[in-house]
Every structure is written in C-alpha cells, then in structure tokens.
A and B are shown apart, each in its own frame.
Chain A
Amino acid sequence: MDELLKRLTEAHGVSGDEGEIREILKSEAANLADEVSIDRMGNLVAFKKGTKSGKKIMLCAHMDEVGLIIHNIADNGILKFSTVGSIDPRVLISKKVRIGKKKQYGILGLKAIHLQEPDERKTVVKTKQLYIDIGAKSKDEALKLVNLGDYAAFDTEYLPFGQGRIKGKALDDRLGCSVLLNALKCRYPFDLYACFTTQEEVGIRGAGVAAFNIKPSMALIVEGTTCSDVPGVDEHMRSTRLGKGPAITVMDATSYSNKDMVNKIIETAIKENIPYQMKQSAAGGNDAGAIHISGEGIKTAVVSVPCRYIHSPNSVADMNDYYSTSRLVEAFLKGCE
C-alpha cells in the first residue's frame, strides 16, 4: 500500500478548505523543492531552480476535492447542506461524511424503504431534500459538534483492491498531486514551479492566480479524469479506459491543448515505452482552462490518470496508470530544455 497516497487521499480539502491537504503537501514538498510558498488564493507553489536556463515551466494539480458545506442547522439538530463542486445527489444517499476540523461523523439518511410509496423509490432526490444527521437532538446540541459553514468530506478509506487497483476519495486530483511530488524528486534544466492549486472544483479559481504570479512559458496539468469503461456505457462514450495508461487530452471543455506539447508527450511515451491513450471525449474542465488564457497566453497540455466514479465517495484507479502517468510526466519534463 502506498502510504503517501493514503494520506493524500484521506486528507480533507474541500474547495475553500484546503488547509489539511496543503499542510501535508507543504511538508512533503519542502524536502524536495528549493522553496515552498503559499499565495493569496492559498495555492501551494514548490519552486525548484533549473540547472541551465531560466525558462519557467509550471506543473499543476489541484488540491481541492468536491464535498459539502453546512448552510443551515435546524431546530431539531438536523443539518442542511449545499454541495461544493458538482456532486450528483444520487451518490450521497446512505453515505457517511466527516464534518469540520473535529471530523464529526454525519450520515446522509433517507426515509426507510418500508415507509416509502412504491413510486417514491423511482424519483430522483434533489440535493435540497437531503440532510445530514449527526445524532444531535437540538440546534444547541448540534452547535457543540459543528458550526455553520463547516465543510464535510466523504468518509472514505483508501484501500488497494482487485488486481493492482486502488479505491479512495478525491483520486481527482490527489493522484495528480502525488505525480507532482514525484516529479519534484528530480532537478531539471529549467525552473520548475509545481503548483498545488485551490478551488478548481468550484470554477477553476486558484490556477489563474498562480499563473498570473509565475508567468510560465508552458504549463502541464496533471488531472484525475473521468473513466467510464463500465456496463451500460456505449464504447464511444467511455472517454478513457482503466489500465490503458495516462490519458492525453486533445481538447476538453475549457482548453485546447497546445499541439506541439501533445506531440512531444506522445513521442516521449513511445520512446520510453510508456502506455498511453488519447482521451476520447471533449468533456470536463480543469486548471488549463484558466492558465492558457492568463496574460499574453501560456501553452498548456493536460495528462490524466483515468479514474472511475469521480465526484463520488469511492473512485477507482489503476496503480499502473498512476505509475505510468508519473513516469510520463517526468520523462516529458526531462526532455524540455
């Protein structure tokens, strides 16, 4: 079991509340980078001076994960919440979350099946109808355990399972963060800025600020991307496939990857014998969306670890895909002058 991945994925870091994951990443990066700093949006930037040129390359992965935020505490001690980032309400029912700094347990209950009308089970529950029970009987009792504005993350244990696969929460994009840490182990000819960004999930808010500060000539974004190779999905809708290697993006919802970079990434993969796949959908947005249009424009490309069931309590990824993504990113960077 990869202990670091366990710590990274189990740490809390819902968009706007990235404190815990930032601390972990900061202490890990401090051992590897020349300088570690935090900017005004809370982005963590690890800087590693280049051996040759002063050219700046930005490596980027977002620290934040989707989750919930408590927006109301009812008189009967029940909590109402909003989703932070995009979460399908259907994945929330009957799950556990951990709330606030004290990681108070909360459950997303639902009226027992015995008490439901037959057609009720067929309706989609809206987020507004859901609630969290923390075992408190009154508002005052609840306020002893949680506060208005507390963030809640899925209560998910990181575990390896099946054949070389792992399951956990926030694989999007703690796997990317881990790839960045791996890349920081080397020194490159150019100045490397490894940026762990905030608030990607609520509108790609941190990355633009990071790019504005650094003004790199090029940025490589490492994501955890949607993988839909499951029953009921047409072949052509699967986007990426588990086990087929890192996915390279041609175009997604928020940016069109720079073609020279994409070609170079593919060449590198072939040369180093690293399996890879082309992302087969143009869906999904990520930090490249904000970075490429920053200032006078920045060349960007996106490489992703395929993850099944992203934005839900349990995502699945293939360790080989993760290792290959790491190797590919490193090899690509080493090939940059």
Chain B
Amino acid sequence: MDTKDFLSELVNTPGISGYEESISLKVSRVFERYCDEVRTDAFYNVYGKMTDQVGEGMPKVMLAAHIDEIGLMVKEVCEDGFLRFVSVGGVDQRILPGLEVIVHGKENLLGIIGAKPPHLQIGDEAKKALEMKDMAIDVGFSGEKLKGVINVGDPITFKSPLTTLNGTIVCGKALDDRAGAAILLETMKQLKELRFEAEVYFVATVQEEIGTRGAIISTFRVMPDIGIAIDVTHGDMPDAPKEETFSMDKGPVIAIGPNMHPGLTKKLMDIAKEHGIEYLVEVEAGPTGTDARAIQISRSGVPTVLVQLPLKYMHTTVETINIETVKKAGMLLARFISSMKEGWREWMNY
C-alpha cells in the first residue's frame, strides 16, 4: 500500500486515546498484507510479527509507534444543545476557536467550536486566551434532538484531512504519531526486500498521549530484547528557538540520552552512515515523552533507541511533515534490523 495513502487513511480515521478500535482495525488490515501474523490485544494495540531466517539466539525486536491522537470529549450536553468538553491528551486551547470537529455519538455529528466575533467583544476580552472551560461546541441541534444521540463521554476528533502543501510536505491532524505508523509500514516494506535474523514485532500502540499506556502493557507482553520507539520531534518553526528544532529535510532525528541505550544508539548511527542515510541528533536529558520511556524499564529492562520524525506545529490540526523523511526512517530501520547478526548482544554491553 502506498505510504502516503496509508497515512491519509489513518488521518481520516478517528482514534483518540482510549478509543482506538476503528483505527486499530484499519492498521491491522494493512499489517496483514506484510506480516506473518497480526494480533490485537484487549486494548487495541496491534502486533504484526515478521520473521525471515529463524534460529536460536536471535533477537526479538519491538518497534512501536502510537496510533492514538489527542482530541476532546463531551463533558456535558447542555439543554440548549451546546456541548461542553474536556481535552484528551495535550490540547493547546488556543487552536480551538473556530475549529471544525466531529462528535462521535450514536451518530457522527459535525460540530463547530464557537468563537465570539470581534464586534461583540468588550474591552480587554480580546487580549486574553480563551479557556476551554468557557468554550462550547455547536452541532446545530437543540438539546431535545440530541437526547440519546450524544452522551457524556463521547469522543470528539478534529476534522483535518491530510493535505499536500508542496511536493512531499504534507499536513493534517494526528500526524503525531500516525506518521510514525507510516514509518512502521515503510520499514515493513523495506524489510521484505532484505534478509534478516530477528523476530520482529511491529506494534501500533494505544494511549501514548495520556501516559504511554499502550507501550507499558505491550512491552510487557512482547518481552523484546531490543526496543525501537518511533515518534515525532519538533521541526523548525519560525517562532521557535533554533536550538530546539530540527530541519525538515536532513533525515530522521536519532535521540541520545539516559532513556536510550548508548551502545545500541551508536550502532544505529553507524548503520545510517554506512548506508548514506542522513540523520540529525537530539539530546534528551531525561525520560522522553514517547513510548521509549515505558519500553526501557519494562520487566528486566529493554535497551531502547528512539527515532523521530521532524514535525512542525505539534498538537495542532496543521501538523506538517516531509514524507521523504518517513521513507528515509523506514530505510534506516530496515537496515538496522537486517544488520543484527550473531554477536548482537555485544552491542548492549556496558
């Protein structure tokens, strides 16, 4: 399946943290085309297993990218038909006024997060950020009509399909981390063309945005020898400090720091250099805000690396990435896995 098409489908499929059933099914169907075996657990984590050469002493490798997205949830259905809501995951309230959303009740309803026009604002009102607790979603129905259709707890997603801006630069909501899922697909495709001596699990995790929860339970289940977390990092934005953002076209970003195994990370960088794959380095001083945080300390510990895609405007509905980088990351990871031969354990010595 074409990676951009896969990404587009994922972006259009709802799946806020805790409500990933639909997207999990979509991912699992695509994984089935490339993996030997695909399973889904009770929390909708998807596990796609791939092997090539089988034998004793081969490493079990787990790649993880999360398929949940940030969103909103109905807190109260007001009598007048307006919906009050809470956020699920880290939603910047400033993106909300004027946004189109989809409320997933017994039916899917289109909603607008209302914004008071400038004409009606008084005094200093315009100078303060609007707070989520004061906002409401207008679905165009009266309270009566909504009874039984929309309930407290119904998930709400942002409406923002994948849009091509320019060449390989695309934008949309939830590219954090559906683009990571696309990297899983790319890796699968590239790995199919190579020989490898490992038991590889491609895991599409759930509930990362609310505390890497899917990664906690899936890593416990898989018990990998090596963990590879795939997520996004900040692409360079006009209003962000240069030292904290990364170029959109210099390849994937490999993380270093206490959450990543130094020996394993170095090996990954060596493979990149060997195959002429450009990459950047990000230094993370503590446990990262990704599945790597959970994977590293599962059971007896899992040496972990973290590969990231530069993404601009994270946690907005206009997240922007470079599809080229998705492909480069896939190439890098496939080569990395393919390089694991006898003696792989030594990479993880201290």
Residues of A within 8 A of B (CB): 15-17, 19, 22, 38-42, 69-72, 74, 80, 82-85, 148-149, 199, 202-203, 205, 208-209, 212-213
Q: How far is the CB of B119 from chain A (nearest CB, A)?
A: 40
User: Are A202 and B301 in contact (CB-based, < 8 A)?
Assistant: no
A19-B350, A202-B287 as given contacts; A149 in contact with B257, CB under 8 Å: yes
Q: How far is the CB of A40 from chain B (nearest CB, A)?
A: 3
Complex formed: what's the CA distance from A83 to B284 in Å?
10
17 A–B contact pairs at CB < 8 A? A15-B258, A16-B257, A16-B258, A16-B259, A17-B258, A40-B301, A41-B296, A41-B297, A71-B243, A148-B256, A149-B256, A202-B286, A209-B297, A209-B300, A209-B301, A212-B299, A212-B300
Residues of B within 8 A of A (CB): 243, 256-259, 262, 281-283, 285-287, 296-297, 299-303, 348, 350
Interface centre among B243, B257, B258, B281, by most A CB within 10 Å?
A: B258
Chain B residues within 8 Å of A148, by CB = 256, 281, 283
Chain B residues within 8 Å of A38, by CB = 350
Chain A residues within 8 Å of B348, by CB = 40
- B241's closest neighbor in chain A, by CB? A128
- B242's closest neighbor in chain A, by CB? A72
Complex formed: what's the CA distance from A85 to B286 in Å?
7
Interface majority SS on B: helix, strand, loop or mixed? loop
Q: How far is the CB of B217 from chain A (nearest CB, A)?
A: 15
User: Are A203 and B287 in contact (CB-based, < 8 A)?
Assistant: yes
Q: How far is the CB of A285 from chain B (nearest CB, A)?
A: 14
Q: How far is the CB of A192 from chain B (nearest CB, A)?
A: 20
Complex formed: what's the CA distance from A41 to B227 in Å?
13
**Other A-B pairs beyond A40-B348, A203-B287, 4, CB < 8 Å:** A71-B282, A72-B283, A148-B256, A148-B283
Q: How far is the CB of B3 from chain A (nearest CB, A)?
A: 30
A71-B243, A205-B296 as given contacts; A22 in contact with B350, CB under 8 Å: yes
Chain B residues within 8 Å of A202, by CB = 258, 285-287
User: Are A69 and B257 in contact (CB-based, < 8 A)?
Assistant: yes
Q: How far is the CB of A66 from chain B (nearest CB, A)?
A: 10
- Please pick, from B243, B285, B302, B350, the residue contacting A83 in the complex, using a CB distance under 8 A: B285
- A202's closest neighbor in chain B, by CB? B286
- A38's closest neighbor in chain B, by CB? B350
Chain B residues within 8 Å of A209, by CB = 297, 299-301
User: Are B300 and A208 in contact (CB-based, < 8 A)?
Assistant: no
- Please pick, from B243, B259, B301, the residue contacting A39 in the complex, using a CB distance under 8 A: B301
User: Are B301 and A80 in contact (CB-based, < 8 A)?
Assistant: no
Interface centre among A82, A149, A212, by most B CB within 10 Å?
A: A149
Complex formed: what's the CA distance from A42 to B263 in Å?
12
Complex formed: what's the CA distance from A15 to B259 in Å?
10
Chain B residues within 8 Å of A19, by CB = 350
Q: How far is the CB of A153 from chain B (nearest CB, A)?
A: 14
A40-B302, A149-B256 as given contacts; A84 in contact with B283, CB under 8 Å: no
Complex formed: what's the CA distance from A38 to B263 in Å?
15
A38-B350, A205-B258, A213-B300 as given contacts; A84 in contact with B243, CB under 8 Å: no
Chain A residues within 8 Å of B257, by CB = 16, 69, 149
Chain B residues within 8 Å of A15, by CB = 258
Q: How far is the CB of A126 from chain B (nearest CB, A)?
A: 13
Chain B residues within 8 Å of A212, by CB = 299-300
Chain A residues within 8 Å of B302, by CB = 40
- B283's closest neighbor in chain A, by CB? A71
Interface centre among A42, A85, A212, by most B CB within 10 Å?
A: A42
Complex formed: what's the CA distance from A72 to B282 in Å?
9
Q: How far is the CB of A333 from chain B (nearest CB, A)?
A: 25
Chain B residues within 8 Å of A205, by CB = 258, 287, 296-297
6 closest cross-chain pairs (CB), A and B:
A16-B258, A40-B301, A82-B285, A71-B283, A209-B301, A41-B301
A42-B350, A202-B258 as given contacts; A71 in contact with B301, CB under 8 Å: no
- Please pick, from B256, B285, B350, the residue contacting A84 in the complex, using a CB distance under 8 A: B285
- B349's closest neighbor in chain A, by CB? A38
Q: How far is the CB of B278 from chain A (nearest CB, A)?
A: 16
Complex formed: what's the CA distance from A17 to B286 in Å?
12
Q: How far is the CB of A261 from chain B (nearest CB, A)?
A: 25
Chain A residues within 8 Å of B301, by CB = 39-41, 209
- B348's closest neighbor in chain A, by CB? A40
Q: How far is the CB of B256 from chain A (nearest CB, A)?
A: 4
Q: How far is the CB of A32 from chain B (nearest CB, A)?
A: 20
Q: How far is the CB of A58 from chain B (nearest CB, A)?
A: 15
- Please pick, from A22, A40, A71, A208, the residue contacting B285 in the complex, using a CB distance under 8 A: A71
